[in-house]
Structure 1
Amino acid sequence: MFDNALPLDINPSTLALEPQPANSLLPDSRMNSDFILNSISEQKNFETILEQFTGLSNSLAQQTQLVSNDSLIQAGKPDLVINKMTTPTSATVTSTINFNYTIKNQGTASTGWSGGYTSFYLSKNLTLDNSDIYLTDDYSDTLAAGASRSESTYFYLSSDLAIGNYYILAKADEYNYVEESNESNNIFAKAITIQELPKPDLVISDLTVPSDAVGGDYLTIDYTIANQGLGSTDWNGSNNKFYLSTDATLTNSDIYIGSDYTYSMEAGTSQNSSAYIYLDETITTGTYYLFAQADGDKYIAESNETNNLRYKTINITEAPKPDLLITKLVAPQTVTAGYSLDVTFTLRNKGDASTGWYGSDTKFYLSQDTVIDANDTYLDQVSSYYVDPDTSSTEKASIALSSKLAGGNYYLIAKADGNNDLVEKNENNNTFYTSIQVTPSLDGYSSFNGYGLVDAAEAVAKALGQNPFPSVPNLGGKNWGADLIKAPEVWAKGYTGNGIIVAVLDTGVDRNHADLSSNIWHNPGEINGNGIDDDNNGFVDDYWGWNFNGNNNNTMDGHSHGTHVSGTIAGVKNDFGVTGIAYNAKIMPVKVLSDSGSGSDRGVAKGIRYAADNGARVINMSLGGGNNNAELRAAVEYASSKGAIVVMAAGNDGDSTTMGHYPAAYATQWGIAVGAVDKRNNMADFSNRAGGTNLAYITAPGVDVYSTVPNNKYDTYSGTSMATPHMAGVIALMLSAKGTLTDAQVRSILISTSENSPTASQTNSLSAFLSPVDMELTQSQFTGAATNTQPTWTRNDSEKSIFITGETVHISSQYEYEQASLTSFDQLTGLVFQSQLTNKEII
């Protein structure tokens, strides 16, 4: 609008008569920019106002000479100045300045639609130039001639701003939005001093330490930290550090012993604190300066960075230390490779401190001399706990010797604190040795793992009188068990178990499982469901085998164990699930245990005879117990005489021998006893060992085995139950290659081709079984070892029974599934396992 817009109470009769100042004339197009008419539209707006209040016509408005091409009125101009600014005389960096200022239009015309922007700068002088520091700007609305307005704004002083004296320069109409009558009077200045932000200053104002301390013990340090600066530490606390020095100057070579944290502090305050510091037992005895350093990490910017230290002297004495040595070592003069070496030794602590809870690991070596070095053979270690000062402990160990150990004369060396876990008074007296003679193993048998890992490729090749089959690529993934025992090498030669019946004496089999259904045996001499014993074998409608627990023909698996075992033996080779070791063999379901896992040893014996009489060439028994039963023994012998090979789980008790576990102990004469290993061919903690009595004990994969379970599902189980079907599958492959093999021949071939045999191929090594990925170390699934808890046995002579592991009543003649524990503690074996299954009845 016009700068001289009329007030609403204007008298229109006098409008034309008012003398017009010279500068109110409006220029025509020939005049220069010193004159201004905002717009023709503003002219028309003004004429409209006139009409509203006077009813005058356009011709009358023209008579006022407001607009004419020939008679022009000169316009006035605004003139903006800052005439007041209330900024502080001083401020600190990182502070925000809120202030007021007054802008005035001392010109003769309004600023129009905008009062422009006022900008603020920090300058070292009164002249605004490009070197000055921009602070902020503030917008002003329209301002009438002669009017002024008080405005407020703020700016922030950056932390990187140099301290010193400045001027705050305020410049009105910074961007020249307003055309003014005077463009040189827009700047207003006010002095300000920029000061440094007040800083804290942390000192250790008091320090109390004991005059004496012992290495290997804790030290209490009491101290006071004070902030004697002018500023707060804000949210920062102080990490105060402590050192030991041999002089009064703290350097990088001094011993850092610990720290203590104190929280944020306002200026002029202090805090008392105590630090509980452990003095390492390796610290040399002597007198030290104990330094306390405030703000030890230098996180806080202080006004004085040179006064953070305070020290006191302290005398460090030697820590009591244990001193372990072997004072006696008793071992047989002669031992056979592959068998256990039983030793007794005395461990003495002649020091003045206990070994503590971590105790000592005594390690054993076989050496050609009396000095332990990299050429010696490490055997085993025995842990001893809390050996107190000036006491002795007599320990025993049964050390498994490799069947591949070369015969000869050795020194058996025992080394106390074999892992150097303890700091001892004397680190040079830990060893003790005695002479021993090792007789070489003639057949490779080991009391630890029998004849070692089965090798399907070499076994089948030897059955055919051929050289070991060449290696093929691993299947990988969940088929690692087949890779480990070299089953794919046998498949590549065309031997897949075709024509071989494998009886599974277990909880039954889910014959409808998609990965098993085409490989389930049915009795060819029986018509299903006609109620007649068609083949006169004494069992009516045993079309799908027989249930010796319920004395009926229902062989379905209401548990899961038998189905899992069956998938490992003969899971169908397809594009899903699992592939069995003998994936073209047939599974004969023989149910000898109920769905809850109980049954009798008589039922198992009958199941063995049924399988042998009805064409089974391999009988898988992933079960066992502690009773040497004549009926069961006779059944095993009977099956072997009929050409069937019995394959028996070694047991999950973690025992040093399988000889107390039946029917596996019958492998001294018939069939194969099977121990469990993991994917790296390490013996499973839960697996019973072979023991000192030579029997056909061979190992197979039994840890984290993936296989079929009922209702078209799959799961991962562990146990010698899972190792046994791997072995059964290998024997089925052997028989599919050469069906005339007898029990004695199968035993002989497996023994001579397994890992430990002197005649086994040298390619039978872990690196030949596993892919580079599988060779990587993985955490064991088993989180404990045998404890001192002993099983509780009660006798029930009314029925010699077989139970699945985990039944609450433990019977002296009991048999169990050889599946590893599912709960945290197995009351029968004392072993702790990681749970893999969901059935809580089983352990």
Structure 2
Amino acid sequence: MMKKLLSILFLTFLSFHNIFAQQPDLVVIPDDPALSIRKPGEIYHGQSFVYNIGNAVANPSILKYYLSTNMTFDSSDILLGQDYTLGISPGQDSEDGAYLVIPPVKGGMYYMLYFTDADGVVSESNENNNIAAVSFEIQTPDLVAFETSVGIGTVSPGQSKNINYKIKNVGNIAIGPSTAKIYLSTNGSLSSDDVLIGTKTTSSLGINQIEIITNLSIVIPSSTSIGNYFILIEADANNDITEYNENNNIDSTLSSFFVDVLGEPDLTADPFNISITSLCNSCSFSLGTLGNKRHIISKDASSLSFQQIIIDNNGTATSGNAKINFYLSVDGVLDTASDFKFPTSVGISIIQPGSSAQASYTLFNTDFADFSFGNYFLIMKIDGDNQVSESNENNNIFNIPITYQQSNIVNKPLLNGLKNSLVGEPYNLYIYNFNGKFVDKVLVKDVNSENEVLKNLPEAIYILNSINGSRKVFFKR
């Protein structure tokens, strides 16, 4: 109150010197001389007093508020608001105010210009004292996406691509987390027909801090048509942050990549190339020749081992990374909701078209500790998590009949088998190479004829499986 009284006395003194001019003279004094720090989007209540230091009544006028980079008004200054000033008698004042929104501008030092009689409707004795300026700082974040890139090479719908990008806060204030969106585009410019293929949270960033994203795996939608595409990154895609520049949030890859709609992988396995051992001595080494036998695992110390699983890619495109999952089922029909999934999976690396990968897996008696004794089916599913979009999704599942029993003492019918072979009853001999890959199936009548078969094979180590059991032989001419 004392401040206002002193200002009135001072202005009254000044008006005394203009007593003979018979003209009003308006000046403005901001009521908040220190705006301090502001942010875009904040609401500021601008308050001021307009004094008439002239010697004539001032007609009503308009007080306008401008945002400026200096203390001098020009046409580039930003109008933030205005207030109506009533007529003012000599030596009197009018208290004015308006609610002003700080606009999205680049961070830095600014001035709030209080411009009384901004439209020049009052003829004054001094037209050069109508503006007062108050300095303050605007703190503004500004996110920029840049250096977006994608791995080279053709990709098929449903497959993944690794992308890289950077997001930097070029503003003058730290910011919290935001959301970046990833689009598939045909022309490198974001439009309504571009396809959203991923989102990722951008961490909090300090001033000039950069978040670097490398090898982010993004799946190309299975509905994508053949053609060339770009990857777009949009920083602050949900507009969580009020930025100085909202037009620098999008970045595109410099070059496109090709999507071939015709190429798809197809992961499967040949049962003859799935080699299993267990307590069952009469069971074939190969799943393809297991027949009606059941592999055995007991509560006592024992295991069921997939010595070799050869996974083939019979498709026309490279497969991505995948897993082999194993389930325990009572009926041999996979139901992921009710069948027990063993916690350990087997990873499958990328497989080129026409190529194979090899894996192995072992289940121990402790893995069955929570189950009742009896007959089950062990189900093996290639690409168990459906990570790879394949041309054939119906050849990934394989059933292995098993028996879980109390003791590891089992019947051994090998003597009967050997007896049959000695009297000349024909039986099948299955031949595998040293890595367990199926080589041939031959009808033989005894052990001697088994050895004769080897003479037609190249020198190597072989695994022979028949009713006489399994044996490893080294054949040399």
Q: Shorter-chain-normalised TM-score: which range?
A: 0.3 to 0.5
Max Rg structure: 1
Comparing both structures, which one devotes a greater share of its residues to strand? 2
The structure whose RCO (Cα within 8 Å, separation 6+) is larger is 2
Name the TM-score, length of structure 1 as normaliser: 0.26
